[in-house]
Structure 1
Amino acid sequence: MDTTDLDQALDGYGQLLETLQPTDAEACRRIDGAALRAVIEQETQVLIGLRRALQDTADPRLALELLAAAKRIQDECTRMSLVAADRLAATNAHQLEAEELNELRVQPADTTRAARRASGRSCFKDPAELLASWLKISYAKAKRMMLDASDLIGRRDPAGQPVPPRFPHLGQLLDDPKVSPEAVCETSKKISRREPEDTTFEGTPTEPTLLDNSGIAVEERAAQILHDELTEKEAEKKIGSLITIASSHPETSTAAALCRGMYRRQTSNPQVVEFVLRVGLLEAEMLDSLIAQANNPKTQAGQRARQNPGHSGTAQGSDSLPEQPQLPDFLPPEAAGARWEPEAPQMRVSPPERALNALLELLGTSGEDAGRRRIEPEVIVHMKLDDLRNLAGAHGRTAHGVDLPPGELRKLLCDAKIIPAVFGGRGELLDFGRAKRLVPPSLRKAVLARDRGCLVPGCTTPPERVEIHHIKSHADGGDTSLENSGPGCDAHHTAYDLGIIKVIFQDGLPWVILPKHIDPEQKPRRNTYWGEDG
């Protein structure tokens, strides 16, 4: 498509849109199959023309414009898919006659006449089966689309009358341009897995049953989080924690859900043995700390974790290993993105391998490991002052975002190795363990106890990997104190120093102001990925 063709496509596209403004029900009826296909064809030609016209652009601004346009189109496609799935269910599309479906494959729908429906048994058992066949996807995926539409767009009762969606607050976000509809759908899926099956169509009304501690529906709280958070990563973390806490209440949990242990799993690979490890909340926090330390290449522990047993020729601190014997590809399906490459002369030690090496080092007590300093997991628990006064109902949160219910919290406070960080109502640090004075290691722990991780919203760098930043630089007279310190990962620490990200103090806490292209509101923010302040 040349420039002239693109101009013609744009003109034709504009004329079509003028005739298809659905301002009322009558306007909607004027959209027939031919008009719909014409719009889609013109739109497709416009998009193809834009892509080809810009595929060799040397202007990075146009590349960003194209990227933003692609995201908007993708978001609208998600909304259109949900609306289409809802209409398939509402119109019982699976009852269409076979010949009607055959014609629809090759020519636009003739909406001047009524749709022909099968007089006897239809070709498909339900709308999801038709959807799966029409889009050439699995039935499970098609069924999930239908359920998403039911949860977010609308449902029907046994008489076929419309009923509000099961998750109305999430459904309202679908048209919010600031919220990704994919994130809304993913949140809906997560909540629906913990809810009873929706039986509204069978005559038994079903409403959300999953409530937070204050009695508010989790889907309402989740919708508010999606609307308020600056990054999807922060929202995902908060919503995951919200769902976990609400669904792990003693009244709803099963014994199997709380079972700990190590289970040997069957595998087709004779070269390795697989285990499934289920641990408690405190143990999970210790393992998180262990893994984060093993992933830090700047420490001796991190360098040792990059050496696999039996490969003494590997240089300390290297991410590479000597050539490995050729083994068949039997990686477990959950090893996302991993694959065996026997042709590669060097193999990098993957994060799962580093975690395993750190765990084995923790257990090593004899042989060449004897007397060697091992990784020591560190657990910091974030609490409010009121929690200490009411341990019966207190909740705590670890540095890695693990929520600790009252029972686990009381056990932790009996352990001398646990560092309790106590906060006031505004999240300001009141006390940090039993330290009487702050020396550099204690200062680092105090800063991380207060801020938990990098200050930039959405940053997921583990606390063990962040650096401590002088908010007022040492060269300008800034002192090394809790009131002049804030954590940042490698990349964001540099952004602090360059002034790209500003750090300010408010109410005893450091906040960041992001660049305008990231946050047009220029609102002071804190990273809540690891949990709420205080």
Structure 2
Amino acid sequence: MEIVPALLTDDGVFDAVVETEAALRTLHLRRLRLLAEVLRRGLDTDTYRRVVRADPREVKRWTTQATLFLPSLSPTGQPLPPLHPATGAVLEELSDGHLTELARAISLRLPDGSEEILVEAARSVEPKAVRQLADRIRDRAEQDRVDEVDEPAADPGDILHLRDLPGGRLEFFGELSAESGARFTALLEPLSTPRPDGPRDTARRRGEAFADLIHLASRSTDLPSEAGERPHISVTIDHDTLRRGVGHAVLDGDHHLSAAQARRIACDAKILPVVLGGASEVLDLGRAKRTVSVAQRRALHARDRGCAFPGCHRPPKWCDAHHIQHWADGGSTDLSNLVLLCRAHHSLVHHSQWQITTTGGTPTFIPPRHIDPAQRPRQNLLHRPPTPTPALAA
């Protein structure tokens, strides 16, 4: 029977959305199975493409999905499991977009156990977040392979290309290393925030901010500040990694760099120590104070590394410290009751039925039933992707 959206209740609208999306996933799975049969029989794929009126790139994408994730038959007719059973086991739950990103991730040749991590994420976040997580795992794996001795040869360093333009203008492009990029961003962000009388376009704001940086650098003593502090870089690294000089650190909550790079930053940068509990700084204020202390915010930056909402990539500097149990309702200003959320997700959890808990010190989000009837707990794997190991696959 045809659904008339205007006659549905609010809950009924979301129920219909869930039902429709499930039907679309079922139809896509049927499409892949039929395409797999076309390929098995050696039928003309151009005829298939004309029948479905699809772009060749779409057919190529579906062919890849069918090859990687569907069971097949041996030349003797024996059934064979999917090449990638972790994804094949949950095909009914994944959309075309999710399967596309999982196929791309497989082409990246990520470490063992990565597919299981990505499949679990795909069951609760949008395809773009799966792509970002795959890239984070790849970057972390590549950084772990860079030994301190080999690092100078592996790192291309900072590159800048200049070209004169008519009228005296200058065109430039290039790329910065992780550490130089972090310094540059720390200087640029305070100057490029939106102003009532300034440009709305992000590129123009950054351009003006960059010009301001040049003028400030020429005076050398006048540097920008943010929240009352001079530009700084936060580096999180465990003691053993710092001592051995092999491994990686986390730069400003998002980027991975080697222990050697972290030590170089320490030579001329202001390093903010992160104390996750201990005698040197009081991190739990209980009910005595509603606002979050500087020490607590630093601890939250190190723990959450950005907005903790599943799939959000916003860095720590763009986030608020949110009380899981509101302070006005008796919640304490302790780390166990605090979580970093960007403005958009801060507003979302205030006005929706998302529940937040902490599991092993990591914020965990439970969606309302109209988003996930099973209400499976979710975490943001973009900022803290688990290290893929064979044990995880088991």
Q: TM-score, with normalisation over the residues of structure 1? A: 0.55
Deviation at 1:302, TM superposition (A): 4.3
Confirm whether residue 142 of structure 1 aligns to residue 48 of structure 2.
no
Change (3 A) 1:92 1:287: farther
- Give the secondary-structure state (helix, strand or coil) at the position aligned to 1:404: strand
Confirm whether residue 489 of structure 1 aligns to residue 351 of structure 2.
no
2:98 partner letter: A
Contact 1:218 1:243 in 2 (8 A): no
- Structure-to-structure mapping, 1:224-263, within 5 angstroms: 224-226=120-122, 235-246=130-141, 249=145, 258=156, 260-263=158-161
Confirm whether residue 183 of structure 1 aligns to residue 183 of structure 2.
no
> Deviation digits for residues 219-273 of structure 1, max 9, x if unmatched?
344334445x56656544332211333456459x9x89957523469x9xx9998
Which whole-Å CA distance do the structure 2 matches of 1:317 and 1:378 have between them?
A: 26
Q: Give the counterpart of 2:309 among 456, 460, 470.
A: 456
Match for residue 103 of structure 1?
none
Match for residue 213 of structure 2?
362
- Give the secondary-structure state (helix, strand or coil) at the position aligned to 1:150: helix
Contact 1:387 1:395 in 2 (8 A): yes
Structure scoring higher RCO (CA < 8 A, sep ≥ 6) equals 2
Which whole-Å CA distance do the structure 1 matches of 2:319 and 2:87 have between them?
A: 35
Contact 1:290 1:355 in 2 (8 A): no
Contact 2:233 2:269 in 1 (8 A): no
Structure 2 unmatched ranges of 5 or more:
284-291, 388-394
Which whole-Å CA distance do the structure 2 matches of 1:260 and 1:182 have between them?
A: 35
2:160 partner letter: M
Deviation at 1:188, TM superposition (A): 1.0
Contact 1:451 1:487 in 2 (8 A): yes
Deviation at 1:518, TM superposition (A): 4.3
Contact 2:28 2:95 in 1 (8 A): no
Match for residue 172 of structure 1?
89
Q: How many residues align?
A: 371
Deviation at 1:448, TM superposition (A): 2.0
Match for residue 3 of structure 1?
none
Contact 2:64 2:103 in 1 (8 A): no
Match for residue 317 of structure 1?
196
Contact 2:322 2:339 in 1 (8 A): yes
- Structure-to-structure mapping, 1:102-181, within 5 angstroms: 127=45, 129-153=46-70, 164-175=81-92, 177=93, 179-181=94-96
- Give the secondary-structure state (helix, strand or coil) at the position aligned to 2:322: strand
Change (3 A) 1:80 1:284: farther
- Give the secondary-structure state (helix, strand or coil) at the position aligned to 2:321: strand
Give 1 or 2 for the bigger CA radius of gyration: 1
- Give the secondary-structure state (helix, strand or coil) at the position aligned to 2:174: strand
Confirm whether residue 54 of structure 1 aligns to residue 4 of structure 2.
yes
Change (3 A) 1:480 1:489: same
Aligned CA-pair RMSD: 4.6
- Give the secondary-structure state (helix, strand or coil) at the position aligned to 1:454: coil
Comparing 449-458 with 491-500, which one deviates more in the overlay?
A: 491-500
Contact 2:179 2:261 in 1 (8 A): yes
Which whole-Å CA distance do the structure 2 matches of 1:59 and 1:141 have between them?
A: 37
Contact 1:362 1:374 in 2 (8 A): no
1:184 partner letter: L
Deviation at 1:76, TM superposition (A): 2.3
Q: Give the counterpart of 2:35 among 85, 101, 114.
A: 85
Q: Give the counterpart of 1:383 among 230, 237, 252.
A: 237
1:239 partner letter: A
1:74 partner letter: L
Match for residue 76 of structure 1?
26
Match for residue 390 of structure 2?
none
| Percent identity for Structure 1 against Structure 2 | 24
2:177 partner letter: G
Contact 1:260 1:280 in 2 (8 A): yes
Q: TM-score, with normalisation over the residues of structure 2? A: 0.71
Deviation at 1:520, TM superposition (A): 5.2
1:361 partner letter: D
Contact 2:314 2:342 in 1 (8 A): yes
Deviation at 1:496, TM superposition (A): 5.9
Change (3 A) 1:380 1:145: same
- Structure-to-structure mapping, 1:277-316, within 5 angstroms: 277-286=174-183, 289=186, 293=189, 301-303=191-193, 306=194, 316=195
Comparing 134-143 with 73-82, which one deviates more in the overlay?
A: 134-143
- Give the secondary-structure state (helix, strand or coil) at the position aligned to 2:254: coil
Match for residue 63 of structure 1?
13
